[in-house]
Chain A
Amino acid sequence: MSTVESPTEIDTLEPPASETNADSEGQGNEEIREFIERDYQYGFVSDLDQEILPKGLNEDVVRFISAKKDEPEWLLEWRLNAFRHFMTMTEPHWQNVSFPKIDYQDISYWAGPKKKGPAPKSLDEIDPKTREMFDKLGISLAEQERLSGVAVDAIVDSVSVATTFKTKLAEAGVVFCSFSEAVRTHPELVRQYLGTVVPPRDNFFAALNSAVFSDGSFVFVPEGVRCPMELSTYFRMNAAETGQFERTLIIAEKGATVSYLEGCTAPMRDENQLHAAVVELIALDDANIKYSTVQNWYPGDENGVGGIYNFVTKRGKCAGHRSKISWTQVETGSAITWKYPSVVLQGDDSVGEFYSVAVTTHYQQADTGTKMVHIGKNTSSTIVSKGISAGKAQQTYRGQVKMMRSATGSRNHTQCDSLLIGSDCGAHTFPYIEVKNDSSEVEHEASTSKISDDQLFYCRQRGMNEEDATSMIVNGFCRDVFDELPMEFAVEAQALMRVSLEGSVG
């Protein structure tokens, strides 16, 4: 009943960056008003202007959320079961990060699509610092307008792009929609797969998410279909407010292939400090799922004040033979990151991959890594983790490789490299390796290095300034992982690294 306290058993957290608060305007005030009135009707909100559920967590809150979404009875029961279990658990503290105690009764668990003051009329009204960041990341003007919620045609553009996008997917039989929509339109699929990879009782934050999840993405790729395009949260319809407890479910049927991109490189601000998302992936026979994340949530300021707590549970199940699940992540944001995207290799000859770049600067903390659980025969997994620490940041790689008795002839290769910039930061590595049969092979390589003065001087002697040189050396360090990113992300990721490390040298 208690929380699983052992690090080897836990899998945790991070909220997929979804859309920013950009386009809630478009929905019109009508809907918002309706929302508010309904809030009032349920008696949770006393003030007509308020769009947020009062703080606190109890069964009524869970019922309220479920009712808000017109969910079927079974889903409400599922949430309530998760909630009841959550109440018996205690917050885990085995991770190598520190933060003040979170008061779970001091959080509001529902917020309607809220209007954040009048929309800016043009980019000129946007905070110059934010614009500067956009420019450095090479984000187009139209995109900048969209992200900043500028009320212009750009939003119309993105809707029309999204519509074209949806038609094309529908022709291929791919379902790509918000989680709430999937509950309405494909309840049987949701019911069949929800919680089969990350059960509600899996860990403290997964239980919390299961009880109060707001929204997220749903993807279903039918048998034999190769999804005709990369699926990006960027183009997801109804993406407005997914909130702090995001829930994502991706199913690839036999022989299906899909690549999913989550997040974007633009800085993501959010008022909610705690984010606890759950992502579940299911790959049947010969299916292939590639999940790429760029996470750039607000990391707090230079003094470590503020910033997002990013506590995510991400796990994929290679349920079918010869299936493959690949996680690629670039993590630069959040005050605290705590996530272990994992793969359960159940089908014979299935393949799991984890490619990660994590950057921590100033006072950021990250405890991240992966778990590869080998169950099927001849399964193989690859882990490549690149951690970069600067300033006073502390970063931990925590990885588990488990070869079950049944996983004969299986292999794992782990490569875990840390790069330190400056002398006040730290890198820590905790590999857990468990092998229960005698025909499997596990390899673990680890290194820790510093950007050397020699490297910097060499680049500067060739005419590059210190920042360009650092950025080049760091990107070189990350190359194995960047090579795995879809094209769209790869170029942006390099720019992001540069911005993230700005000012951390010299």
Chain B
Amino acid sequence: MLRIEDLRATIDGREILQGLDLEINAGEVHAIMGPNGAGKSTLSSVLTGRDGYDISGKVTFEDEDLLEMAPEERAAKGIFLAFQYPVEIPGVGNMYFLRTAVNAVRRERGEPEVDAVTFLGSVKQHMAELDMDPGMLSRSVNDGFSGGEKKRNEVLQMAMLQPKLAILDETDSGLDIDALRLVAGGIQRLRSPERSMLIITHYPRLLEYVVPDYVHVLSQGRIIRTGDASLAYELEEEGYRGTEASLSGTGGGASK
């Protein structure tokens, strides 16, 4: 589904991604862990098309050149990013935003717009599952939302947009235990053989609920180690420094 080869990204003269390789197949959940500054968020930005990076290398999504596409085209292809810092848009109703997003993606795919009743039914169901107050629909997008509310709102959007590839950038950070459980439940429910996920996180706790097929360690812009879910706990014990030390020099390889 997603194939990344020798991806390099430079911003302000600093090379953040330094030859990253990764392949994700349909239905797989990959976790990326790594120390601050390793390039985790840059990876999510580059994959979704944020401006400002000089990029080389090759990224294909379902055999199409992803790097050529505008952000909205990538969204229409089914790539979704749950933002680490969801953005506030004052005056724009959350419900309106959500519906516009869903219809924009549908239109781009040549599908008819979703009717209001079906839409509302679906939103309410997902909100209930995430224990979100329906009143949040009429509030402005992320405006005045607590940290937990913002993250749940991201997962709600993901549930409504039904992406093929979901990139979750530190969706677990800043959540208390209850909120983490709800958010993790929302993510887990979306797992399916057609949907892939790339979960960026610092901590294994989210991975207890959403057990990944692969865990990668990202350090200095490259994947330096890949393992199964147990790697996350190993890292928790040893820290990244230990991993880096024991593996320095061996590079790369992603799954399959």
Contacts and interface: CB of A to CB of B under 8 A. Distances in A.
Nearest to A482: B91
Contact size range, A: 20 to 34
A464 B92 contact: no
Interface string A445-478: 0000000111101111111111010001101111
Most chain B beta carbons < 10 A, residue from A454, A457, A480 = A457
Interface in B124-183: 140, 157, 161
A466 B157 CA distance: 19
Most chain B beta carbons < 10 A, residue from A455, A463, A480 = A463
Nearest to A451: B89
A173 B49 CA distance: 63
A476 B97 CA distance: 10
B157 A462 contact: yes
B213 interface: no
Contacts of A476: 89-92, 140
B89 A461 contact: no
Contacts of A452: 87
Contacts of B105: 462-463
Contacts of A478: 91
Interface stretch (B6-14, B33-41, B67-75, B232-240): B67-75
B247 to A, nearest CB: 33
**Interface of A: prevailing SS:** helix
B83 interface: yes
A460 B140 contact: no
A166 interface: no
A479 interface: yes
Contacts of B48: 461
Interface residues of B, number: 29
A458 B86 contact: yes
Nearest to B77: A463
Contact of A457 (B71, B76, B108, B161): B71
B75 A462 contact: yes
Interface in A414-472: 452-455, 457-466, 468, 472
B75 A460 contact: yes
Most chain B beta carbons < 10 A, residue from A461, A464, A473, A480 = A461
B89 A472 contact: yes
Contacts of A479: 91-92
Contacts of A462: 75, 97, 100-101, 104-105, 157, 161
A506 to B, nearest CB: 11
A458 B97 CA distance: 11
Contact of A473 (B49, B83, B92): B92
A99 to B, nearest CB: 33
Contact of B100 (A455, A457, A466, A468): A468
Interface in B51-65: 51
B249 to A, nearest CB: 36
Interface in A270-293: none
Nearest to A458: B87
A459 B83 CA distance: 12
B12 to A, nearest CB: 15
Contacts of A465: 70, 72, 104
Nearest to A481: B91
Contacts of B70: 460, 465
Contacts of A463: 72, 75-76, 101, 104-105, 108, 161
Most chain A beta carbons < 10 A, residue from B48, B70, B83, B92 = B92
B101 A472 contact: no
Most chain A beta carbons < 10 A, residue from B74, B86, B104, B157 = B104
Contacts of B49: 460-461
B91 A461 contact: no
B90 A460 contact: no
A244 B4 CA distance: 64
A124 B76 CA distance: 36
A172 to B, nearest CB: 36
Contacts of A453: 51
Nearest to B103: A463
B104 A472 contact: no
Most chain B beta carbons < 10 A, residue from A452, A465, A476 = A476
B215 interface: no
B89 A473 contact: yes
Contacts of A477: 90-91
Given A464-B101, A472-B97, A472-B100, A458 B89 contact: yes
B50 to A, nearest CB: 5
B212 to A, nearest CB: 23
A466 B87 CA distance: 16
A468 B75 contact: no
B210 interface: no
B137 to A, nearest CB: 15
A410 B4 CA distance: 66
Given A461-B81, A462-B105, A475-B92, 4 more contacts: A455-B88, A468-B104, A475-B91, A476-B89
The 4 closest A-B pairs by CB, nearest first: A476-B91, A476-B92, A479-B91, A462-B101
Interface of A: 452-455, 457-466, 468, 472-473, 475-480
Interface of B: 48-51, 70-72, 74-76, 80-81, 83, 86-92, 97, 100-101, 104-105, 108, 140, 157, 161
5 contacts: A458-B83, A463-B105, A473-B92, A476-B91, A480-B91
